[in-house]
Amino acid sequence: MFELEAICGRARAGKLKTPHGKVETPCFMPVATKAVVKTLTPEEVREVGARALISNAFHLHLRPGAKFIEQMGGIHQFMGWGGTIFTDSGGFQLIRSGFELKVRDSGIRYKNANTGAIEELSPEKCVEIQAALGSDVAMALDDCPRFGTGREGVLESTRRTVAWARRAADARKESGQLFFGIVQGGLDEKLRKDCADALVSLDFDGYGIGGLSIGESRDEMLKALRWSAECLPAAKPRYLMGVGSAAELLNSIAEGVDIFDSAFPTRNARHWTIMTSAGNYSLSRAEHASVKEPLEEGCVCPTCRNYSRAYLHHLCKENDMLGMRLASLHNLFFVEWLVAEAREAILRKRFPEFRDHFLSGLPQKTETGEEE
């Protein structure tokens, strides 16, 4: 299921085998929350290097419905993506998206905005929904505390996360679908390690590391990440959820993370922020209006091969959808290129030098991203 090919320090290179192909790690998954990477076709997403996507089981359950997608042949056929698909449970989005809800030991009770009905998302329901969708990797329901929650609240969410993981593991049916638990525990070392230890005892196929990049500092994030990763088995994949800036990707790879996802590249692109190896810049600034060169010199993405920065600036000023699409293609290509280069550096035992050289060319300030 997971083959570890090389280790350089704590950084790892491997291959995750799924029903829809092997995914080389470290890897970055574009976010396809509602079975679409916003503004892009599956063919375009594959062209820029992505081999895995993540969709949101809860949102697809609300519309068009997991059973409907199952009748359409499953999520791969429904959205026309032949590669690997992860599905998140939706607990994170529920808590942060303004739903009228109550988190209880039985599950997350919420109001369905489409029907007005009061429903409950339970660990067992999440397993059922994701089985119907037919994703390659399903995530167990977890209780992610909001940033700034006190220790008692984090303790309660960690306890509930472990209890829900046990119920999800019991509800899981034999199939080719891989199943990951999610480590919580806020910024508390003991809670992080206790949660990781409890999930490892349930023998999941892999482990998500959640509740980070939601407001804490970079140093706090990396410490909590290290506490979590230290307790996870080396032979299974580690997935840091919701991280997509260049600096955070490289620093997290250095801590032993294999898989990432974030809406950061595509959401920034739709707001005209361009990602490059020299840092991010805003395409809306007047200085780009007459630049004949591409978004980034030397970039071979479809956008940079065919369009000037001046043209993209014009589309930005017109707020045109084509510009958002082309910027999204570039940003996704950049992130996919970055993790591929990191993988090669690990295989060549040169990752620390690669990371230090790359980060030396970036501004000191970094940004974080969340799901969309």
Q: Read off the pLDDT of residues 111-165 as tens digits, 9 standing for 90 and up.
A: 888 898 999 999 999 999 999 999 999 999 999 998 899 999 999 999 999 999 9
Gap between the Cα atoms of 34 and 144, Å rounded: 21
Domain count, the chain: 1
Asked if pLDDT for residue 370 goes beyond 50, the answer is no
Is position 353 within any domain?
no
Gap between the Cα atoms of 279 and 365, Å rounded: 9
Tokens standing for residue 351: 């990752």
Q: Are 2 and 235 in contact (CB under 8 A)?
A: yes
What are the residue numbers of the active site? 88, 261
Closest CA to 165 of 189, 135, 197, 191: 197
Could you list the residue range(s) of the whole structural domain that residue 16 is in? Answer: 2-270
Mean model confidence pLDDT for the chain: 95
Is position 350 within any domain?
no
Asked if pLDDT for residue 89 goes beyond 50, the answer is yes
Packing angle, helices 246-253 and 321-347, rounded to 10: 20
Asked if pLDDT for residue 366 goes beyond 50, the answer is no
pLDDT band at residue 92 using 50, 70 and 90 as cut-offs: confident
Is position 331 within any domain?
no
Is position 94 within any domain?
yes
Is position 30 within any domain?
yes
Query: Mean pLDDT over residues 243-261, rounded?
Result: 98
Asked if pLDDT for residue 22 goes beyond 70, the answer is yes
pLDDT band at residue 173 using 50, 70 and 90 as cut-offs: confident
Asked if pLDDT for residue 87 goes beyond 80, the answer is yes
Backbone φ, ψ for residue 127 (5° rounding)? -60, -45
Residue 371: the pLDDT is: 38
Closest CA to 123 of 96, 154, 161: 161
Asked if pLDDT for residue 372 goes beyond 60, the answer is no
pLDDT band at residue 312 using 50, 70 and 90 as cut-offs: very high
Is position 293 within any domain?
no
Q: Quote the percentage of the chain above a pLDDT of 90.
A: 90
Residue 98: the pLDDT is: 59
Tokens standing for residue 56: 């949101």
Is position 287 within any domain?
no
Q: Are 216 and 187 in contact (CB under 8 A)?
A: yes
What is the domain-level CATH number for residue 182?
3.20.20.105
Is position 266 within any domain?
yes
